[in-house]
Chains A and B, each alone.
Chain A
Amino acid sequence: MIPVCVAVVGALTVSACAQGQGGGATDAATYDAESDVTGTLEVLGFGLSDEVAETRAERAQEALSDVDVQLVEGGLDPQRFLTAVASGDSPDLIYSTRSQIGSFASRGVLRPLSSCLEGEGVDTGQYVDSALSQVTFDGEVYALPEFNVVQVLAANPDLLEEAGVEIPQVDGSDWEAIPEATDALKEAAGPDAIGYDSKLPEFFPLWARANGAELISEDGRTAQLDDPAAVEALELAVEVLERQGGFGDVQALRDASDFFGAGNQFASNTLGAFPIEQWYINVLNDVSPDAPVVFDTFKDRDGEAIAYASGGSWAIPTGSANPQAACRYAVTMTEVDSWLAAAEARIAVREEEGKPFTGLLTGNREADEQIRELVEEAEQPWQGGIEATYTANENTFSLPANPADAEFTQAWQDGVNRVLNGQAEPAESLARAQEEAQAALDEAWQQWDSAGGDPAQVSQDPVDPAEVSPSAGADG
């Protein structure tokens, strides 16, 4: 028992030493694109994993030639970050997934970026709308988005032909055709294969939006998980799995697959079709260039391409000792010229390897357009993948920033998992998820609102517990 107690309180012990290190809603620092910046810059959560990262980091270092940039590599650990801020040892800049920005901002640990963007002359109109909305909390931009992960449809043409199934039957545009196509693909693929994978639970937001449901309101305050359209989407996506022996069998097959290897599901003819993130195109091209695969966009019920966007972002903590350097670093990392340089580097590497360059989705609309022009015609199926990727990128949606992202995500995932595990029906499960998500949102928003929407007040004047029901998040 003692280890458990110690584990829980270990971080608390450190954080107890200093609390309320938040900054202010109005950033007191002054930013000027022409000014020189010096000092040190500690960046948390960003790694030089490939040529795209390296090229941009080199440009950012050039822009900050008098600054000692220290990259603390590895993904951002929220626990580590918040503890560092609370203890007064905040990093100067963080690289975070966009979905976390709302939670961080609502806790008062991020600087609003209005002054930074104005001082460095950044036009936020250049960013992809869905990416920007993910980092905009209560009307204020708190991070600069970068990269865009979207979904495309990948299918095995051999199995499609054998099953007599056409792409429109599995790309989401014809829901009535999906059950029958699933049966046919399963029969063609065989007992140890997946015919059609709806990719639950992680792609539930995609299915829901394809049916017209928005899981959370545009202002991020109201959960809408029990929307009949969301329930209908869950029913269909679950039915797809149940027609193939149930989620347990499908998940076991997923776990058994060599997803990133040369024996992947396409190379081994053990998957008919599924929606998947666009980076998987490169994986397949790398490990099994001759595997039977075709790509297309995933579509909503009206036949329009649709994708659920996610990605990274740059944010400046309130405790940053060098916000000017942090701002310029973030701006340089996400500016068009940096992306173009990164794309050139990627093209050079791909040419050296004799592989096609399939493009880069940057979260910056202008950069995307210019990089697209650098993409040369590739052989099929990769050309199809490139076109599907860029079309999907033009038709993205995202879940808006909110202060209870982790709880909201957990709620809908639990809701889906209960159905997958046979513990509840879709309507019943999403109703419960709705209660849990709304309770968490209400509690988090109440804290934010009681501070007057001021991050400084959030971090310095904790909400009166009497105003917040402590059981609100648990009873749903």
Chain B
Amino acid sequence: MSAVGAERPPSTPADLRALGPRLLRRGGGADRPPLRPGQRRARRRAVLAALAFMSPWIIGFLVFTAWPIGYSLYLSLTDYDVINAPTFVGLDNYVRLVNDPDVRLALGNTVVFTLLQVPTYVVLAFALALLLDKAGRSTGFFRTAFFLPRMTPPVAVGVLVLLLLNGQNGLLNVALGWFGIDGPNWTTDSFWIKPGLVLMSLWTVGGSVLIMLAALRNVPSELLDAAKVDGAGFWRRTWHVTTPLVSGPLFFLVVVNTIGALQTFTEAYTAYFGSTGGYGNDAALFYAIYLFQQAFQFFNMGYASALAWLLFLVVLAITAVQLVVSRKLVYYEGDR
């Protein structure tokens, strides 16, 4: 504080940005008087105590996350079937991966599903949150009602896919029939399988609705009132005031759902590749399912590890692009 004592305290992001380089130049306390031996010991003890308290997490992270990730990278360079010792094969698994038509199929399916699912899911979550925001005293009831389906185990949702979306007597087609619409075979027509799975994924939209509802509650009412006074209707207020102010949570939902969609597994596996008497539709062969088949049905663990790393790189690349784009589109409160 002594170094900036003559100045007004930093209070805005701009102040902090200006101050940053100076703080860095100070090397974390070059201007401060040197610590006395007693203070050094106390600080060291404090650091050790902090590390001791953090050690369960650190050890857990190293043993159960960092080491397996590193080991999977090693395995991706080997031929490994669980029983025999891994044999180093260099980049052969990656070469195989590039030439594997099923990888292209699975990756294509996954990307198409993601492109369909994420916008639908986020827009629906936002729309329901807007409705809930207007629900007044009954918000609590609807909030619970929307969230309850999220408690359904994914495997059960996989079974529900086959029941609710059945082309013959599924609830969806029955409902469409009330309006004179002859619904498709959502669960068996290759063209409609992915849209069907997207529809079923909306089953769990309640969690995201709650996130968006919390974000909407933080939108300053004076801004909305001012827009209203200026003559803006509901849609203009939503598009020009509300949406920019909640773009941060919206972006969060986009990123999280994109990662989730790229890893889609349980529902599709249960519906199409579990115990289905051998019937598995290529249109539902998502990347994680193919990875699972290679790892746990064919025991090509080395190849499966290479597949996992490819997925990691794909997710990384997509998330990086989203982050770059978000700099222009997303508004954060702290940046004001």
The reply to whether B96 and A470 form a contact with Cβ atoms under 8 Å apart is: yes
- Known pairs A248-B188, A252-B188, A255-B187; A470 contacts B67 (CB<8 A): no
- Known pairs A420-B279, A474-B96; A6 contacts B64 (CB<8 A): yes
| Interface 9-mer from B40-48, B113-121, B164-172, B236-244 | B164-172
In this complex, how many residues of chain B approach chain A with their Cβ under 8 Å: the count is 69
- Chain A neighbourhood of B102, CB < 8 A: 474
| Interface 9-mer from A7-15, A114-122, A174-182, A226-234 | A7-15
Q: Of residues 407 to 423 in A, which have CB atoms within 8 Å of B's CB atoms?
A: 407, 409-410, 413-414, 416-418, 420-423
Q: Of residues 279 to 325 in B, which have CB atoms within 8 Å of A's CB atoms?
A: 279-283, 288, 291, 293, 295-301, 303-305, 308-309, 311-312, 315-316
Q: Is B256 an interface residue (CB 8 A)?
A: no
The reply to whether A4 and B82 form a contact with Cβ atoms under 8 Å apart is: no
The reply to whether B79 and A462 form a contact with Cβ atoms under 8 Å apart is: yes
Q: Of residues 3 to 49 in A, which have CB atoms within 8 Å of B's CB atoms?
A: 3-6, 8-13, 15-16, 19-22
Q: Is A344 an interface residue (CB 8 A)?
A: no
Q: Is B151 an interface residue (CB 8 A)?
A: no
Q: Is B27 an interface residue (CB 8 A)?
A: no
Q: Of residues 195 to 242 in B, which have CB atoms within 8 Å of A's CB atoms?
A: none
- Known pairs A12-B301, A462-B87; A248 contacts B167 (CB<8 A): yes
| Interface 9-mer from A77-85, A209-217, A355-363, A377-385 | A77-85
The reply to whether B298 and A407 form a contact with Cβ atoms under 8 Å apart is: yes
- Known pairs A19-B85, A248-B167; A6 contacts B80 (CB<8 A): no
The reply to whether A252 and B68 form a contact with Cβ atoms under 8 Å apart is: no
Residue in A9, A11, A107 whose CB lies within 8 Å of B83: A107
Residue in B69, B87, B168 whose CB lies within 8 Å of A253: B168
- Known pairs A13-B68, A470-B93; A8 contacts B282 (CB<8 A): no
| Min CB–CB distance B256 → chain A (angstroms) | 12
- Known pairs A79-B296, A255-B187, A407-B298; A5 contacts B312 (CB<8 A): yes
The reply to whether A470 and B68 form a contact with Cβ atoms under 8 Å apart is: no
Q: Of residues 46 to 90 in B, which have CB atoms within 8 Å of A's CB atoms?
A: 64-65, 67-69, 71-72, 75, 79-89
- Chain A neighbourhood of B67, CB < 8 A: 13
Most buried by B among A248, A251, A410, A470: A470
The reply to whether B311 and A86 form a contact with Cβ atoms under 8 Å apart is: no
Determine the interface band of chain A, counting residues with CB < 8 A from chain B. Answer: 35 or more
The reply to whether B96 and A471 form a contact with Cβ atoms under 8 Å apart is: yes
The reply to whether A8 and B185 form a contact with Cβ atoms under 8 Å apart is: no
| Min CB–CB distance A87 → chain B (angstroms) | 10
Q: Is B326 an interface residue (CB 8 A)?
A: no
- Whole-angstrom CA separation of A21 from B85 in the bound complex: 10
The reply to whether B68 and A471 form a contact with Cβ atoms under 8 Å apart is: no
- Whole-angstrom CA separation of A83 from B189 in the bound complex: 38
The reply to whether A471 and B316 form a contact with Cβ atoms under 8 Å apart is: no
| Min CB–CB distance A124 → chain B (angstroms) | 27
- Chain B neighbourhood of A418, CB < 8 A: 282
- Whole-angstrom CA separation of A5 from B70 in the bound complex: 10
Residue in A8, A13, A83, A410 whose CB lies within 8 Å of B291: A8
Residue-wise interface mask of A (185-202) relative to B, using a CB-CB cutoff of 8 A (1 in contact, 0 not): 000000010000000011
| Min CB–CB distance A281 → chain B (angstroms) | 18
Q: Is A136 an interface residue (CB 8 A)?
A: no
- Chain B neighbourhood of A420, CB < 8 A: 279
Residue in A9, A21, A82, A421 whose CB lies within 8 Å of B72: A9
Most buried by A among B64, B89, B277: B277
Q: Is B133 an interface residue (CB 8 A)?
A: no
Q: Is B259 an interface residue (CB 8 A)?
A: yes
- Chain B neighbourhood of A21, CB < 8 A: 83
Q: Is A112 an interface residue (CB 8 A)?
A: no
- Chain B neighbourhood of A4, CB < 8 A: 263, 288, 291, 308, 311-312
Q: Is B99 an interface residue (CB 8 A)?
A: yes
- Whole-angstrom CA separation of A368 from B165 in the bound complex: 44
| Min CB–CB distance B196 → chain A (angstroms) | 12
Q: Is A465 an interface residue (CB 8 A)?
A: yes
Q: Is B100 an interface residue (CB 8 A)?
A: yes
Residue in A2, A3, A414, A458 whose CB lies within 8 Å of B84: A458
Residue in B72, B75, B99, B187 whose CB lies within 8 Å of A474: B99
| Min CB–CB distance A296 → chain B (angstroms) | 22
The reply to whether A256 and B168 form a contact with Cβ atoms under 8 Å apart is: yes
Q: Is A459 an interface residue (CB 8 A)?
A: yes
- Chain B neighbourhood of A255, CB < 8 A: 162-163, 166, 168, 187-188
Residue-wise interface mask of A (96-138) relative to B, using a CB-CB cutoff of 8 A (1 in contact, 0 not): 0000000000011100000000000000000000000000000
- Whole-angstrom CA separation of A202 from B279 in the bound complex: 8
Q: Is B278 an interface residue (CB 8 A)?
A: yes
- Chain B neighbourhood of A421, CB < 8 A: 190, 281-283
The reply to whether A16 and B84 form a contact with Cβ atoms under 8 Å apart is: no
- Chain B neighbourhood of A82, CB < 8 A: 82-83, 299
Question: Can you pick out 5 interface pairs between chain A and chain B where the beta carbons lie within 8 Å of each other?
Answer: A8-B72, A8-B301, A12-B305, A79-B296, A471-B96
Given contacts A108-B83, A248-B188, 16 further A-B contacts (CB under 8 A): A1-B311, A5-B312, A8-B295, A13-B68, A13-B71, A21-B83, A22-B83, A109-B83, A192-B168, A192-B169, A201-B277, A406-B297, A421-B190, A463-B87, A474-B100, A474-B103
Chain B residues engaging chain A, CB cutoff 8 angstroms = 64-65, 67-69, 71-72, 75, 79-89, 92-93, 95-96, 99-103, 162-163, 166-170, 185, 187-190, 259, 262-263, 277-283, 288, 291, 293, 295-301, 303-305, 308-309, 311-312, 315-316
The 6 closest A-B pairs by CB, nearest first: A248-B188, A9-B72, A252-B167, A474-B100, A470-B92, A462-B84
